[in-house]
Structure 1
Amino acid sequence: MSTYCVEYVYDDRDDRRSEVRPEHREFLKGLLARDVLLASGPWVGPPSPEPAGGAAAGALLVLRGDSPEGVLAVLDQDPFRREGLVTERVVRRWDPVIGPWS
């Protein structure tokens, strides 16, 4: 199994995201219990340097999986995705060589 990083980009519906967040977090806790999710969390503040047009809200998720397509298929069940709150997902295989996930 490989390690993948998935970046979520959220739409601007902060209120709806707050309403769905408890269900989203329960979904992620289930992935953690199945040893699929290694870590997840929202971005804090804008990237440096901030891109033209500002920075959209989003998050980074680190997961184990067999392929990028398989990881995205698992994340298709995320309540944030179901509700259309995730406007973009970027997945990249990551090869940690130092640290607890190496």
Structure 2
Amino acid sequence: MALHAVVYRYSTDSAALDEHRPEHKDYLHSLFEHGRIVVSGPLAEGGGPGALLILDAADPDEVEALLDQDPFHALGLIVEREIRRWNPAFGGERLSPASG
């Protein structure tokens, strides 16, 4: 397995985001519970609404398949999603990616 960084950029439709956020968070939490998400959370101010996720997966295609099931994705509330393999230079030992 390998680490992948994902940047989500959300729709600016705050009412729809608020309405569907519980299902979105539940889905991401299930990925965390199954060891696929190592760490994630919303991005702070600037650049519009979004999030950073670090996932443990074999390749970007697997990350894409997992995140295609996110309710926000199905509802069109993720307007941009960037997936890149990530090789931490410092502090990687502090992360606990799934062992497979």
What percentage of residue pairs aligned between the two structures are identical? 39
> What is the deviation of 1:86?
0.2
Cα RMSD, aligned residues only:
1.3
1:20 aligns with 2:17: no
- Cα distance in 1, alignment partners of residues 21 and 38 from structure 2: 19
Match of 1:89 in 2: 81
**Where does structure 1 differ by over 3 angstroms across 4 or more consecutive aligned residues?**
none
Point out where structure 1 has 5 or more consecutive residues left out of the alignment.
47-54
Question: What does 1:1-102 correspond to in 2, within 5 Å?
Answer: 1-46=1-46, 55-97=47-89, 98=91, 99-101=93-95
Point out where structure 2 has 5 or more consecutive residues left out of the alignment.
none
- Cα distance in 2, alignment partners of residues 32 and 12 from structure 1: 26
What TM-score does the superposition give when structure 2 sets the normalisation length?
0.88
- Cα distance in 2, alignment partners of residues 67 and 18 from structure 1: 31
> What is the deviation of 1:74?
0.3
Match of 1:50 in 2: none
> What is the deviation of 1:57?
1.4
Q: How many residues align?
A: 94
> What is the deviation of 1:4?
0.4
